[in-house]
A and B are shown apart, each in its own frame.
Chain A
Amino acid sequence: MMQATLRERQIEQKRIALTGNHAVALAVKMARPEVIAAYPITPQTPVVERLAEYVNNGELDAEFIPVESEHSAMSAVIGASAAGARTFTETSSQGLGHMYENLPIAVGMRLPIVMGVAARTYSAPINVWGDYGDVMSMRELGWIIYIAQTAQEAFDTVVQAYRVAEDARVHLPVVVAYDGFWTSHVLQPLDVPADEEEVLKFAPITRNWVRLDVDNPTQLGAVGTPEWYWEIRWQAVEALRNSAKVIEEVDVEYGRRFGRSYGLVTRYMLEDAEVAVVAYGSIFGLVKKAVDRLRKEGIRAGALRLRVIRPWPTWHLQKYLSHVEKVLVIDRSINHGGPQLGPMAVEVGATLGRVIHCALATVGMRAIDSDMIYEAALKTHKGLWVAGETYTVGLRGGYE
């Protein structure tokens, strides 16, 4: 079986163990960025520490700018990308908040920046641990947003992200998010290409975006008056909408070359499901375990993982979830004051055109296990939880 798998893969791989953060750093190194700018913040710091080591050991020929803030980190990679360089930065939580005003600018300038986010909640109270509050605050800005489940997937997604971002049909910044701590700091086995050059072969630096070139002067970041702003911004809107097929195409080709692909969403036992759990990030393994237990008890349960949330996988969700009677979204971020308090639940409900079930979990990295997910799915299935409401998993004095 192992041999058959190896034969199918065109590219020779080696199995190593890395934390999610170090897996991301390795993927970035193999993608050969030319400028990296970063500022430390937990839990992403080990990524940029490792990248700084690569640069200072001569393993990566790049300029590493140890900037004085995340605002400057994003500004510097915008400048570098505008000058034609392949770039990388990474942040979490307050750091993302600090660079926030620059995020939509990277979109408007159509710069193929790749950023990692080891997801962490927002203060206050200050909490360095993982939930998706930071990532969810990026949804309206025009970035492509991936959420990886494992260190392996984070590695693979970073490589895919460069290929997607620099595709002439896209030219948009991409963020690759993964759980702070549960992925970023957990040592996991993963396969990486034995020959690093394979990554650059798969995702060559295209340098085909509009950039600052003294031989062909352009102005980037012009004033867009009410007569022009909308048309210019609309190009980014259309590019993001159309990026879905590029993301899928790149994922399929990555699968052919490297033996792993993931799709915009990942499905689990949905074909005949009467109740489905939708989740994202590292907890999907627990979700599948809960589904297995429900199946053993005769309940036709299934699950779906959101891997790409921008562009939103509308068609996939409608195809894979329309027939499922009860859909429970486990959200890992609070949509304060929203129609339902889970941001993804609101979007999944709107996509399916009906009111669905919503539960909040892992907020501020509150612990969770598969039994808790099993209970939540069971309550949904039995009708103890009402669609349209928001329930909590693991909150003292919450709504269970």
Chain B
Amino acid sequence: MSEARGRFGGIREKIYIRRHHITLPGVKIAEEYPGLYEYASFELPQEEFFLPGHGLCASCTIGVIARHMLKVLGPDTIVVNPTGCAEVSTVVYPRGNWAVPWIHVAFGNGGAVASGIEAAIKALKRRGVIDSTRKINVVVFAGDGATADIGFQALSGMLERGHRVIYVMYDNEGYMNTGIQRSGTTPFGASTTTAPAGRKVPGNVTHKKPMALIAAAHGIPYVATANPAYVHDMVYKFKKAAEADGPSFLHILQSCTPGWRFEPKYAIRVLELATETGYWVNYEIDRGEFRVTMPVPKRKPVKCFLQLQGRFRHLKPEEVETIQAVVDRDVAEINKAMGREVIGPVDPSLACITPRGK
């Protein structure tokens, strides 16, 4: 517990420093091969299925995720959208921003509603109501609260029963729709309205719930993490998820202007920094094979990611070091699992903001 410094050191009974376990029973590390980090090129249609005119915040990256998701999945897709930012911002009667069938039922049941839809499509194909050769994607588009917290059981049930559903979790690391409350994926040290930065407790003292690994523990065919700042990586994962022979799960980091408190122009920058600092690692577990899809030869200090955001502004330098220690451990675990250094060491000489176009 030597890493717990600053105010974290004073509340040791409230915290632990996570030991991240990447390796899961049955999961092996993908062998290195030429072209491992190249992406199959495929065309995205010009046609838009996530339509403009929605009520998402300026620079909200939910739109980036939804738009590219539907460009990959196409019109034969049914979207299940549990309660959250995406839901309240995109279908407000009489306006709708989805050019595909869409349903919102409640907060904690995305997995169950999708299970029912998928089962119905199967039965209706057998009875000749739906053309049996037609592939219809069923996708859950859910926030972190609807996935990691209130919808966790419904998600687990859906994965365990093997429904062919693509589950996309957009993770803005809190209950942003209801006003920035802490969720199971709020990171260590972030200030939220229900885990506020106080004189004694400096914000949230729990670790981000490792949803992709939890999903992978169900033994499903495809699991990945993604980041909308790296669209080529993200769309490739949508494609693989859609082609999976069973349930698939995508954990996608999503920057949130009011919740993370950064200037709207930094929506993509802050996501880049999440990956560049090793705070967020893009990987996939494809039929039991683990691979990091976005290696980072040299890391920027996590401070670069934190200092762009108001939710971490209360942290003292030694408390930032505590978070750096958490990231270092997570990265070490991934490198250990991979058997080589896919995420490199921190290089303090790197500028936090890399100039564009250089």
When A71-B109, A223-B91 are in contact, do A212 and B101 touch as well, CB less than 8 Å? yes
Given contacts A105-B106, A228-B93, contact A83 B77 (CB under 8 A): no
What is the CB-to-nearest-CB distance from B274 to chain A, in angstroms, rounded to a whole number?
Answer: 30
The yes or no answer to A53 lying at the interface (CB within 8 A) is no
Task: Name the interface residues of A53-103: CB closer than 8 Å to any CB of B.
Answer: 61-63, 65-69, 71-73, 75-85, 87, 101-102
Q: Mark B107-135, 1 if CB is under 8 A from A, else 0.
A: 01101111111011111101101000000
Asked if A222 meets B104 with Cβ closer than 8 Å, knowing A79-B120, A212-B117, A228-B94, the reply is: yes
A395 at the binding interface (Cβ < 8 Å): no
How far in angstroms is the closest Cβ of chain B from A40?
Answer: 14
Q: Among the listed B113, B122, B156, which residue makes an inter-chain contact with A76, where contact means beta carbons less than 8 Å apart?
A: B113
- A80 to B114: give the CA distance in the assembly, Å: 8
* Least CB distance, A97 to chain B, in whole angstroms: 15
B93 touches A232 (CB 8 A): yes
Q: Looking at chain A, what size class is its interface with the partner chain? A: 35 or more
Asked if B161 CB lies within 8 Å of chain A CBs, one says yes
Contact, CB under 8 Å: A80 / B116: yes
Interface size on B, residues (CB 8 A): 46
Closest to B115 in A: A76
A207 near B: Cβ within 8 Å?
yes
User: Using Cβ atoms and an 8 Å threshold, which residues of chain A touch B310?
Assistant: none
The distance from the CB of B139 to the nearest CB of chain A, in whole angstroms, is 12
* B56 CB-CB contact with A under 8 Å: no
Contact B154 A214 (CB under 8 A): no
Contact of B92 among A37, A67, A223 (CB under 8 A): A223
A3 close to B (CB within 8 Å): no
* A221 interface contact, C-beta 8 A: yes
Interface residues of B in 57-102 (CB under 8 A from A): 75-78, 80, 87-88, 91-94, 96, 98-102
A216-238 residues with Cβ-Cβ distance < 8 A to B are 217-225, 228, 232
Asked whether, in the complex, the Cβ of A102 is within 8 Å of the Cβ of B94, the reply is no
B92 touches A221 (CB 8 A): no
Interface: A329 (CB within 8 A): no
Residue of B nearest to A83 (CB): B120
- The answer to whether B116 and A79 touch across the interface, beta carbons within 8 angstroms, is yes
| B80, B116, B121, B160: residue with the most chain A Cβ atoms closer than 10 Å | B116
> Contact: A219 with B108, CB < 8 Å?
no
Decide yes or no whether A34 CB sits under 8 A from chain B.
yes
A63 and B122 form a contact (CB under 8 A)? yes
Residues of B within 8 A of A107 (CB): none
B153 within 8 A of A: yes
Given A62-B123, A75-B154, A220:B115 Cβ within 8 A:
no
Q: Does residue A276 face the partner (Cβ distance < 8 Å to B)?
A: no
B105 x A219 contact (CB < 8 A) = no
Are A105 and B123 CB-contacts (below 8 A) given A214-B78, A232-B93? no
* Contact flag A217-B116 (CB < 8 Å), given A34-B123, A102-B106, A223-B88: no
A61's partner among B123, B156, B160 (CB-CB below 8 A) is: B123
Please indicate the chain A residues that have their CB under 8 angstroms from the CB of B115 in the complex.
Answer: 37, 65, 67, 72, 76, 79
Q: How far is the CA of A183 from the CA of B102 in the complex (A)?
A: 41
Other-chain residue from B94, B123, B153, B156 in contact with A63 (beta carbon distance below 8 A): B123
Q: How far is the CA of A374 from the CA of B128 in the complex (A)?
A: 57
Chain B CB within 8 A of A35 CB: yes
A214 near B124: Cβ-Cβ < 8 Å: no
Closest to B104 in A: A221
Instruction: Say yes or no for B45: interface residue by CB 8 A criterion.
Output: no
Asked if A271 is an interface residue, CB under 8 A from chain B, the answer is no
Assembly CA distance A80 to B138 (angstroms): 12
Given A65-B161, A67-B115, A217-B100, do A34 and B106 touch, yes or no (CB 8 Å)? no
Does A213 sit at the interface, judged by CB under 8 A?
Answer: yes
**A219 and B123 contact, Cβ closer than 8 Å, known pairs A67-B157, A207-B129:** no
Give Cα distance in the complex from A37 to B87, angstroms.
25
Find A219's partner among B75, B91, B113, B126 (CB 8 Å cutoff).
B91
Contact A78 B113 (CB under 8 A): yes
Judged by a CB distance under 8 angstroms, whether B296 is at the interface is no
With a cutoff of 8 Å between Cβ atoms, the chain B residues found around residue A82 in the complex are 103, 113, 116-117
* A220 with B102, Cβ < 8 A, contacts A79-B80, A79-B115 known: yes
The answer on a CB contact under 8 Å between A83 and B126 is no
- The CA-CA distance from A39 to B21 in the complex, in Å, is 33
Is there a chain A Cβ closer than 8 Å to B268's Cβ? Answer: no
User: In the assembled complex, how far is the CB of residue A204 from the closest CB belonging to chain B, in whole angstroms?
Assistant: 13
Residues on the A chain within 8 Å of B98, using CB = 217, 219
Chain A CB within 8 A of B136 CB: yes
Interchain CB contact (< 8 A) of A72 among B93, B102, B154: B154
Question: When chains A and B are docked, how far (Å) is the Cα of A217 from the Cα of B119?
Answer: 19
- Chain A residues with CB below 8 A from B100, complex form: 214, 217
* Given A35-B116, A72-B115, A76-B113, A66-B103 contact (CB < 8 Å): no
Choose from A35, A80, A207, A218 the contact partner of B101 (Cβ within 8 Å). Answer: A218
* A76 in contact with B116 given A68-B157, A217-B102, A222-B104 (CB within 8 Å): yes
What are 15 A-B pairs with beta-carbon distances under 8 A? Answer: A34-B124, A37-B115, A61-B123, A69-B153, A72-B154, A75-B105, A79-B115, A81-B120, A83-B120, A85-B124, A217-B100, A221-B91, A222-B93, A223-B87, A223-B93
Apart from A34-B127, A79-B113, A80-B117, what are 9 other A-B pairs with CB-CB below 8 Å? A35-B120, A65-B115, A75-B106, A84-B124, A102-B106, A218-B102, A220-B102, A222-B94, A232-B93
Binding site for A on B (CB under 8 A): 75-78, 80, 87-88, 91-94, 96, 98-106, 108-109, 111-117, 119-124, 126-127, 129, 136, 153-154, 156-157, 160-161
**A-B interface, 8 closest residue pairs, ranked by CB to CB distance from nearest:** A79-B116, A76-B116, A72-B112, A68-B157, A75-B112, A75-B109, A83-B120, A221-B104
